[in-house]
């Protein structure tokens, strides 16, 4: 159920930002509440626009603790919040800003007991996760009285991560991504189940678990899904073209109550397909959110005209794209 919050639209915001933003950036930053897709070409100031979008919403009366700002690196999140804090020092510090994993961790600490975890769970980094997975591989190999039968931990770790990121069963990922392992599929699934079981027994989560368990909390049938989504009046996402299907699903679910979602990205810069990211979520945004407003940032501050002309020519050949001209 959508919840409505009375807000005051700050007419002064647009005037205040006019000196800081170009007309396209200003229009996007001061867009009405609702779903907003900002298609931002390379060097067009997309992060700057998103920061001013955040400031505009603060001016609108949205409480900072009711906003989630999602980025892909801690450094990017820190820089964005610091830049926002220059304008609104106290308010910007209260925003739920950080990486997808950081946001997931904060939510899970409050609700993980519903999933069978204790709130003091430990997060495994990639190295520790690889070591535990290696122990599971060794245990399965030992039961077969053989060594070197199964792939190295990092190979299976990548396949499990790809399975989670794309919300695709592990067996399908293995058969599609590494057909040489088809003959070992049942053993690999056994290792994956053992790995998951041991993490649960020891109250551990790896980075994939943080997002997957958050997904479980925000599923439509989850008893706390509405409670979690209700706390976020606005959700903002930077570099949206780099989201994977799982992250895009989580974002949509977090915005399910108030239906205020701003995403910014460039589908032509989606380069992380090897880890499950896809521009598909951006390309289909207006299908999932039919009332979404679309804005384009096409003024490039980074490159000279000959380079832009060449880039436009190359991009024009993309079969699927959100059209823009730098």
CATH number at residue 257: 3.40.50.300
Whether 5 is in a domain gets the answer no
Whether 48 is in a domain gets the answer yes
Q: Give 248's pLDDT tier (boundaries 50, 70, 90).
A: very high
Q: Give 57's pLDDT tier (boundaries 50, 70, 90).
A: very high
Q: Give 7's pLDDT tier (boundaries 50, 70, 90).
A: very low
Residues 103 and 232 in one domain: yes
Whether 207 is in a domain gets the answer no
Residues 236 and 284 in one domain: yes
- Tell me what the pLDDT averaged over the chain comes to: 87
Is residue 211 predicted with pLDDT exceeding 90? yes
pLDDT in tens, 260-307: 999 999 876 667 777 788 889 999 999 999 999 999 998 875 654 555
Residues 182 and 228 in one domain: no
> How many domains, in total, are found in the chain?
2
pLDDT in tens, 90-113: 777 799 999 999 999 999 999 999
SS3 label, residue 73:
coil
SS3 label, residue 255:
coil
Average pLDDT over residues 168-181: 92
What pTM, to 2 d.p., does this model score? 0.88
Is residue 228 predicted with pLDDT exceeding 50? yes
**With contact defined as beta carbons under 8 Å apart, do 47 and 238 qualify?**
yes
Residues 103 and 144 in one domain: no
Which residues does residue 123 pair with via DSSP β-bridges, in sequence order? Answer: 205
Is residue 11 predicted with pLDDT exceeding 80? no
Residues 17 and 96 in one domain: yes
- Report strand pairing: 261-265 vs 234-237: parallel
Q: Which domain holds residue 281?
A: 11-111+221-315
Is residue 3 predicted with pLDDT exceeding 80? no
**With contact defined as beta carbons under 8 Å apart, do 149 and 139 qualify?**
no
Residues 101 and 231 in one domain: yes
As a whole number of Å, the CA-based R_g of the chain is: 22
**With contact defined as beta carbons under 8 Å apart, do 43 and 302 qualify?**
yes
Angstrom distance (rounded) from CA 233 to CA 259:
8
Share of the chain above pLDDT 90, in %: 63
Residues 97 and 127 in one domain: no
């Amino acid at each position: 159920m959508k919840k409505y919050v009375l807000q005051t639209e700050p007419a002064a915001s647009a005037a205040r930002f006019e000196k800081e933003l170009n007309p396209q950036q200003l229009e996007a930053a001061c867009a009405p509440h609702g779903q907003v897709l900002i298609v931002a070409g390379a060097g067009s100031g997309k992060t700057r626009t998103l920061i001013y979008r955040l400031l505009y919403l603060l001016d609108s009366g949205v409480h900072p603790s009711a906003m989630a700002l999602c980025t892909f690196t801690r450094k990017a999140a820190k820089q964005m919040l610091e830049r926002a804090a220059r304008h609104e020092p106290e308010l910007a510090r209260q925003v739920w800003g950080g990486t997808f994993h950081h946001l997931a961790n904060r939510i899970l600490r409050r609700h993980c007991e519903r999933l069978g975890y204790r709130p003091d769970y430990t997060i495994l980094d990639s190295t520790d996760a690889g070591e535990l997975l290696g122990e599971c591989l060794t245990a399965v190999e030992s039961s077969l009285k053989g060594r070197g039968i199964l792939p190295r931990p990092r190979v299976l770790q990548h396949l499990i991560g790809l399975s989670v990121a794309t919300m695709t069963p592990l067996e399908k990922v293995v058969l599609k991504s590494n057909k040489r392992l088809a003959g070992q599929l049942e053993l690999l699934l056994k290792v994956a189940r053992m790995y998951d079981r041991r993490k649960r027994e020891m109250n551990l989560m790896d980075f994939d678990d943080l997002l997957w368990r958050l997904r479980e909390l925000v599923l439509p049938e989850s008893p706390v899904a509405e409670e979690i989504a209700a706390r976020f009046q606005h959700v903002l996402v930077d570099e949206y073209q780099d989201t994977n299907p799982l992250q895009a699903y989580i974002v949509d679910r977090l915005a399910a109550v108030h239906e205020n979602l701003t995403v910014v990205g460039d589908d032509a810069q989606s380069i992380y397909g090897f880890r499950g990211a896809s521009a598909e979520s951006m390309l289909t945004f207006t299908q999932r959110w039919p009332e979404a407003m679309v804005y384009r940032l096409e003024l490039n501050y980074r490159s000279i005209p000959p380079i832009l002309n060449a880039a436009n020519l190359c991009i024009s050949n993309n079969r699927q794209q959100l059209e823009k001209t730098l």
